[in-house]
Amino acid sequence: MKIDNLFNIQDKVAIVTGGSRGIGEMIAAGFLANGAKVYISARKAPALVDKAKELSDKYNQECIPISCDLSSMNGIEEFTNEIQNKEKGIDFLINNAGAAWGEPLESFSEGGWDKVMDLNVKSLFFLTQKFKNLLLNNASVEDPSRVINIGSIDGLNVPSMETYSYGASKAAVHHLTRVLAAKLVKENILVNAIAPGPYPSAMLGSAVNHDYSEIAKRNPRKRVGTPEDMAGLAIFLCSRAGAYTVGETITSDGGIVKTASHNLS
């Protein structure tokens, strides 16, 4: 019952896609700070390499960058092959890489639809498929392997912006989480999702010119999310503390989804 045992992720091997910034970086940092070895991926190699070195130095723990484009099957296969050449098994797969697209309904483009669906839904499914054997190699009844899919409150609520493919993709992530959880729990791989609300990130930042003050004011908690909020939830789901939690989509949004009707006055 000690904290050190309940939330222990020491010496685990984790993969965090889109791990060089935003929510992916928050989760990677939380894992590294608590003794896990972490692989992070992103498309832009120089920024990814710099971030991996920064995190390795900060936490005195191994953070390994692998540059790839996970929106294509070729990119997914290159990434999974590279990990398979380095590791016999992995403990945690964090499917965080994602994209957003905003355009008016009347002119919403096929490119904007496909880009979001390919990265947010298709890549998540095929990464889980291709990493299944490595997850199985480290999985047991006592200590299951974990998959966390990063969804969004935009997959639960109706978004305020015209991001049609994004909200639809995140709703798909939440349901796919339940479907994969039902399949993989029998093999000691636990699948859950996190649905973040407003967190500082390149995606949200570009929509609000990186000024989060208005968003913070409107939030029930009067702030945006912090790295501790996100890392703490991911560590819970990946540790002994979360080993009986299966197929859930847990919001981390300061109360937006569950208290919205009470915040109108």
Catalytic residue positions, numbered: 166
Cα–Cα distance measured from residue 178 to residue 185, given in angstroms and rounded to the nearest whole number = 10
Alpha-carbon distance values, 20 to 125, 128, 207 (Å): 21, 20, 19
Q: Quick check: 234 and 94 in contact, CB under 8 A?
A: yes
Cα–Cα distance measured from residue 33 to residue 233, given in angstroms and rounded to the nearest whole number = 14
β-strand 37-42 against 92-95: which pairing, if any?
Answer: unpaired
Name the strand (E) or helix (H) holding 42.
Answer: strand 37-42
**Structure tokens belonging to residue 65:** 């960058």
Residues in the chain: 265
- The pair phi, psi for residue 8, each rounded to 5°, is -80, 125
Cα–Cα distance measured from residue 147 to residue 237, given in angstroms and rounded to the nearest whole number = 9
Look-up: residue for tokens 């996190």?
Answer: 194
Q: Quick check: 199 and 23 in contact, CB under 8 A?
A: yes
In which region does residue 254 sit, left (phi positive, over 0), alpha (psi from -120 to 50) or beta (all else)? left
Long-range contacts of 138-141 (CB under 8 A, 24+ apart): 138/13, 138/89, 138/90, 138/91, 139/187, 139/188, 139/189, 140/188, 141/188
